[in-house]
Every structure is written in structure tokens, then in C-alpha cells.
Amino acid sequence: MQEMGLVPYSFSIAEYPRSQQQVLTIPGQTQGVSITLASPDFQFILNKITGWFRDRDEVELVDHGITDKLGLGYIILEWNECEIDQLFLAILRDEEAVEDYTVYARDL
């Protein structure tokens, strides 16, 4: 039985599910997410994310690497002029490999 609040998707799925949610455009603004992973090994998740969003021109990989203080992996993505997928944020919330994440917005 599935635990309440958990999303039935994770980084183990081959393809990112197409959301039924309408994409909300935000002219002149980008929304981003900075993801801190629970370990320094970011390559698997980076490959998964780039594969999931390869056909999505509005999603841009900004940076990735290892944090200075704790030595954890990080990935930064931005959605240009549209809202971040709520399903993606739910995956980040429930994924054990994700230590923490921060959502931000900035003007283009």
C-alpha cells in the first residue's frame, strides 16, 4: 500500500510523465530550483534529469557539482518564463537521494 503524501514517481523511472497540469507562463521571469543531494554522487540524477527534460526548451541546466562545505552533490535548473512542474517538485520532496531543495524566482 502506498504511503499518503508520497508521489509514485522517482528518479528510477525511465521517462518523466507528461503532466496534465497546464503550464503557467510567467513573462519576463524565470523560476529555478537548487537541489542538494544526500551524497556527492550527482551523475546518475543529473543524467536522469537531462534525459527527462531534453525536449523541453524552457528547462535549462544552470550548474552542477559538489558543495564546498559538506561535499554533497548539487544541481541547479531553471524554467524560463514558466512555472516549475509541480510533479517535479513533488519528486524532489519525496526522493531519498535529495537532501534539500530551494525554489527561487528572478527577472530575466
CA–CA separation, 26 and 40 (whole Å): 33
pLDDT score for 108: 86
pLDDT score for 2: 43
pLDDT score for 1: 38
Map out the domains of the chain with their CATH numbers. 26-107 (3.30.70.1910)
pLDDT score for 14: 59
CA–CA separation, 77 and 93 (whole Å): 16
pLDDT score for 16: 64
Q: What is the model's pTM?
A: 0.81
Residue pair 84/16 in contact (Cβ under 8 Å)? The answer is: no
The residues of the chain scoring below 50 in pLDDT are 1-4
